[in-house]
Amino acid sequence: MKPVFTGVHSVNWYLKYVGLPITVGVAIYALFTQIANKRRRAALRGKVVVITGASSGIGEALAHAFYDEGSKVVLAARRKTELERVKKDLQSKKLSIPAQEPVCIELDLADLDHLEDFTQKVYSACGCIDILINNGGISHRGNILHSKMEVFKQIMTINYFGSVALTKAILPKMVEKKSGHIVFISSVQGLIAIPDRAAYAASKHAIQAFGDSLRAEMHQHNVNVTMVSPGYIVTAISLNALSPSGEKHGVMDTSTASGFTPEYTAEKILNSVVRKENDLIVSQFVPKLAIFIRHFAPSIYHYIMKKRANPTKLSEK
Ligand SMILES: NC(=O)c1ccc[n+]([C@@H]2O[C@H](COP(=O)([O-])OP(=O)(O)OC[C@H]3O[C@@H](n4cnc5c(N)ncnc54)[C@H](OP(=O)(O)O)[C@@H]3O)[C@@H](O)[C@H]2O)c1
Ligand SMILES: *[C@@H]1O[C@H](CO)[C@@H](O)[C@H](O)[C@H]1NC(C)=O
């Protein structure tokens, strides 16, 4: 009897019976994903989307992405002039669908007592909030031994308590309406911690935990929660980071400079939000591998991190 699989075939055979079906399959899948995403994106028209940290970087790119889909974007951050610049940039675009006028509202996430007032301002301007994107945040550079306690407090206040307070201020109306979506822009450093970023990694780990609890509690109220963990993205994050004494770090890190663009990142986030995904990691391969190693081979992870933190390497930086 002739065996079904003889072992060796010509290149043409492989192209025809393996290459072609795979290519066609992938193309059809890509096409359907595109069509499905486009349909889901249509649901964003007229939706009120509050974006914190919309004056720069990922938040600014998110403002463009949601504005392009016809959402009413609320741009929030401390620098009013930068928010107005973003608004002007948005309004100078030509959309093929009706555009919603962006709203700029000043917001300081460190000012925990005034986040309720901020929420009221959004309601007066837009009536409701459909999606909250907790994106505003700040990083730092420096080891635990030499960083001031003030830096730890400030990072935790802005990255964690600020997002918690804002989320809490906005939740009651979402629960009442039985619809809504809370998005957190955490970080790969919300899943693994590296040396010289203790305060930042701790604040992002905290928000990941908060998000998981929130998702479970909100299920009965039909409110969705998406946790986004970006890797390296080209933004001003390292320029705006705090030094061990709490001053501006003011240096563009090479790892950040060679990261993904904010526009690419915002596209990924938008697709994840319309699909109401629980988690999204937007990252290069190495940070993803690091997350894997931390969980499945922790001793290797700790070894690499000790190397990374060694003082000779630090003094070169
Ligand atoms: N870039 C990356 O590699 C990376 C990686 C992972 C996660 N992330 C996260 O992505 C988010 C956005 O950062 P980015 O990379 O786009 O950096 P960025 O360009 O420095 O933007 C940070 C944004 O946060 C706002 N912000 C800072 N402190 C604030 C405060 N006290 N109150 C209100 N808004 C405040 C800033 O606006 P004002 O200064 O006008 O207030 C700015 O719009 C952050 O949460 C960051 O941790 C970034
Ligand atoms: C959004 O959240 C609701 C409530 O938890 C849940 O029933 C629904 O499945 C979620 N949507 C998706 C696409 O996961």
Give me the residue spans of the domains in the chain.
1-42, 47-283, 288-317
Q: How far is the CA of 238 from the centre of ligand 1 (A)?
A: 10
Identify the CA nearest to 187 among candidates 246, 259, 115. Answer: 259
CATH of domain 47-283: 3.40.50.720
Q: Is the CB of 219 under 6 A from ligand 2?
A: yes
- Helix-helix angle 149-156:198-218, to 10 degrees: 30
**Please, are residues 287 and 232 in contact by the beta-carbon 8 Å criterion?**
yes
Residues 6 or more apart in contact with residue 21 via CB below 8 angstroms = none
Judged against a pLDDT cut of 70, whether residue 39 lies above it is answered with yes
pLDDT value of residue 310: 84
Q: Is the CB of 224 under 6 A from ligand 2?
A: yes
DSSP per-residue string spanning 49-108: EEEETTTSHHHHHHHHHHHHTT-EEEEEES-HHHHHHHHHHHHTS--SSPPPPPEEEE--
What is residue 47's three-state secondary structure? coil
Q: What is the DSSP secondary structure assignment for residue 243, as one 8-state letter?
A: P
**Residue to mutate (ligand 2; options 40, 222, 279; most atoms within 8 A of CB):** 222
What is residue 249's three-state secondary structure? coil
Give the burial class of 66: count Cβ atoms within 10 A of its Cβ; 0-12 exposed, 13-18 middle, 19 or more buried. Answer: buried
Judged against a pLDDT cut of 50, whether residue 314 lies above it is answered with no
Question: How confident is the model over 46-59, as pLDDT tens digits?
Answer: 999 999 999 999 99
Nearest ligand, CA of residue 219? 2
Backbone angles phi, psi at 103, to 5 degrees: -115, 135
Nearest ligand, CA of residue 112? 1
Least confident range from 35-39, 86-90, 119-123: namely 35-39
Q: Is the CB of 108 under 6 A from ligand 1?
A: yes
pLDDT value of residue 4: 61
**Residue to mutate (ligand 2; options 179, 276, 278; most atoms within 8 A of CB):** 276
Confidence of residue 282 (pLDDT cuts 50, 70, 90): very high
| Beta strands, E only, the chain | 48-52, 72-77, 103-106, 131-134, 180-185, 223-230, 279-282
Q: How far is the CA of 276 from the centre of ligand 2 (A)?
A: 7
Q: What is the DSSP secondary structure assignment for residue 188, as one 8-state letter?
A: G
pLDDT value of residue 3: 59
